[in-house]
Amino acid sequence: MDYRNMTDETVLIDLMLDVGHRLWARGYVAANDGNMSVRIGKDELLITPTGVSKGFMTRDMIIRMTMDGKVVSPEGKYRPSSEYRMHVQVYRERDDIASVVHAHPPYCTAFAVAGIPLDKCALPEAVLMLGAVPVVPYGTPSTEELPDSIKEYIKKGDAILLANHGALTAGADLHSAYQRMETLEHTAKIMHLAMGLGNVNILSKKQITKLLEVREKMKISGRIKLSEKK
Ligand SMILES: [Zn+2]
């Protein structure tokens, strides 16, 4: 299904259920981990609830809330993700972003625990979609520490590893934010395997320049920052 250019709230809610199921089915979240949101309008967002498996959500669980934390609907037993401040931080820093996905995919999270950024330009898709992915300093989940720790990094790129925690991706819509999470985990897995083989060949400056030209031509949305060592 093409998720792009869909703005109807019920359609967006159905897509959030679908993406939640994919995150769970692919093992990117365990138990009640993870959260996602979609910006609707200037000051509101749809967000997943806290304390619920993202693989088994139903429509009535998705919460509409304001950027300053007030629940608009539905009234009931579900509360918004305790990480909503992290989502709001992304929307405040980036006008071009309308969706945020946060998960704990095992390979991404292993790099985040090891403190190793995914900043080697070794795979074309990773260069095109993610750029160099930093590990941002640890922040206690559900507190202001996490929004503070991502603030500077999200200005430069759409994918971030959260130290000792997991990963966050952002996009112009839910489709692109989710796809970035898939690309990020796939990249982390391949890098882990290549590191295990004992060698990682990185792309040359010339090869990267060509990829950036392709990125321009394909009009890929979002921002990427490449490693300063290049
Ligand atoms: Zn988390």
Cα separation, 124 vs 31, whole angstroms: 33
Closest CA to 181 of 192, 168, 163: 168
Span from the CA of 69 to the centroid of ligand 1 (angstroms): 18
Q: Average pLDDT over the chain, rounded to whole?
A: 93
Span from the CA of 105 to the centroid of ligand 1 (angstroms): 10
pLDDT exceeds 80 at position 228:
no
pLDDT at 74: 80
Query: Could you identify the residue written with the tokens 């609830």?
Result: 49
pLDDT exceeds 90 at position 227:
no
pTM of the model: 0.94
pLDDT exceeds 90 at position 79:
yes
pLDDT exceeds 50 at position 22:
yes
pLDDT tens per residue, range 156-166: 999 999 999 99
pLDDT at 1: 38
pLDDT exceeds 70 at position 125:
yes
Residues of the chain by 3-state class (helix, strand, coil), percent to 5 = 40, 15, 45
pLDDT at 3: 41
pLDDT tens per residue, range 24-36: 999 999 999 999 9
Cα separation, 176 vs 159, whole angstroms: 11
Span from the CA of 190 to the centroid of ligand 1 (angstroms): 23
pLDDT at 77: 82
- Average pLDDT of the segment spanning 112-120: 97
Whether residue 9 lies in the annotated active site = no
Span from the CA of 225 to the centroid of ligand 1 (angstroms): 24
Span from the CA of 206 to the centroid of ligand 1 (angstroms): 37
Cα torsion through 173, 177, 182, 185, rounded to 10: 180
Task: Label residues 71-94 b or e (16+ Cβ within 10 Å = b).
Answer: beeeeeebebbebbbbbbbbbebb
What's the Cα-to-Cα distance from 197 to each of 5, 10, 53, 194, 202, rounded to whole Å? 42, 47, 36, 5, 14
pLDDT at 41: 84
Phi–psi pair at 57, nearest 5 degrees: -80, 150
- Average pLDDT of the segment spanning 82-100: 95
Give residue 56's pLDDT band: very low, low, confident or very high (50, 70, 90): very high
Q: Give pairs for 25-31: CB < 8 Å, separation 24+.
A: 25/55, 26/105, 26/182, 26/185, 27/105, 27/106, 28/103, 28/104, 28/105, 28/181, 28/185, 29/53, 29/54, 29/55, 29/103, 29/104, 30/104
pLDDT at 7: 63
pLDDT exceeds 60 at position 194:
yes
pLDDT exceeds 80 at position 146:
yes
- Average pLDDT of the segment spanning 48-64: 96
Span from the CA of 163 to the centroid of ligand 1 (angstroms): 11
Q: Of 9, 44, 75, 83, which one is the catalytic site residue?
A: 83
- Contact, 53 vs 212, CB < 8 A? no
